[in-house]
């Protein structure tokens, strides 16, 4: 069975990948399984650039086919912020709660029609030699709720209110979230890229 390194240590992301890739016939490995790896700096100006930097960098270190994803929250009223800085919005080691608190303070007193936001996900897949197999993206639109609700999900999920569900992403099950999430849309495209690549590899 071919192995695919998912270039993250984020347990929440890994669970989503496992759920979305179930039945694909690929063994998923996370960075926690790679001894002594060196973190690849996310120096790109966009999600797409960061995804490719990580895919190429971790493939070179592990010698494995690697999927890297960069994603985040983009708020209309903040001109797309926190964007590529979503994970470290409140500082390098502050964490989800601090990020959410900072976001709420910046959007304080804004009416609902000014609290629009979207999650965006970009994926890059590299061969074990660090060559690009393919790249794709996905997004989901919602509204920033004035206070955190729910105990599920991770990141900004307690604030990300999804109108079709009338709930935040932290209030729904993983299965419900996966049906509509930015990562789901990107991963569906990534599945096609992977299956096509693996089929070609078998024929060669």
- For 117-145, how does the pLDDT look when each residue is reduced to its tens digit (9 = 90+)? 999 999 999 999 999 999 999 999 999 99
Distance, CA of 77 to CA of 163 (rounded, Å): 18
**Residues 180 and 168 sit within 8 Å (Cβ to Cβ):** no
Q: What is the pLDDT of residue 202?
A: 62
Distance, CA of 20 to CA of 18 (rounded, Å): 6
Tell me yes or no: is domain 3-203 CATH 3.90.950.10: yes
- For 18-30, how does the pLDDT look when each residue is reduced to its tens digit (9 = 90+)? 877 788 788 889 9
Q: Is 96 a catalytic residue?
A: no
Q: Which residue has the tokens 């996900």?
A: 121
State how far the alpha carbon of 95 is from the alpha carbons of 89, 125, 133, in Å: 9, 27, 32
- For 1-54, how does the pLDDT look when each residue is reduced to its tens digit (9 = 90+)? 788 999 988 777 777 788 777 887 888 899 998 889 999 999 999 999 999 999
Please identify which of the residues 70, 76, 96, 157 carries the catalytic annotation: 70
What is the value of pTM for the model shown? 0.89
- For 143-186, how does the pLDDT look when each residue is reduced to its tens digit (9 = 90+)? 999 999 999 989 999 999 999 999 999 999 988 998 999 988 99
């Amino acid at each position: 069975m071919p192995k695919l390194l998912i270039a993250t240590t984020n347990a929440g992301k890994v669970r989503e990948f496992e759920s979305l890739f179930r039945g694909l016939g690929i063994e998923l490995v996370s960075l926690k399984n790679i001894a002594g790896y060196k973190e690849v700096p996310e120096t790109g100006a966009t999600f797409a650039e960061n995804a490719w930097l990580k895919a190429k960098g971790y493939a070179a270190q592990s010698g494995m086919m690697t999927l890297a994803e960069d994603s985040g929250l983009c708020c209309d009223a903040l001109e797309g912020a926190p964007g590529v800085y979503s994970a470290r919005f409140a500082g390098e080691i502050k964490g989800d709660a601090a990020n959410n608190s900072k976001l709420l303070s910046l959007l304080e007193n804004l009416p609902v029609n000014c609290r629009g936001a979207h999650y965006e996900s970009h994926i890059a897949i590299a061969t074990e030699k660090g060559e690009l197999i393919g790249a794709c993206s996905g997004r989901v639109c919602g509204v920033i709720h004035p206070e955190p609700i729910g105990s599920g999900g991770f990141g900004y999920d307690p604030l990300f209110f999804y109108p079709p569900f009338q709930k935040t992403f932290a209030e729904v099950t993983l299965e419900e979230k996966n049906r509509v999430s930015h990562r789901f849309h990107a991963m569906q495209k990534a599945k096609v890229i992977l299956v096509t690549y693996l089929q070609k590899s078998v024929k060669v």
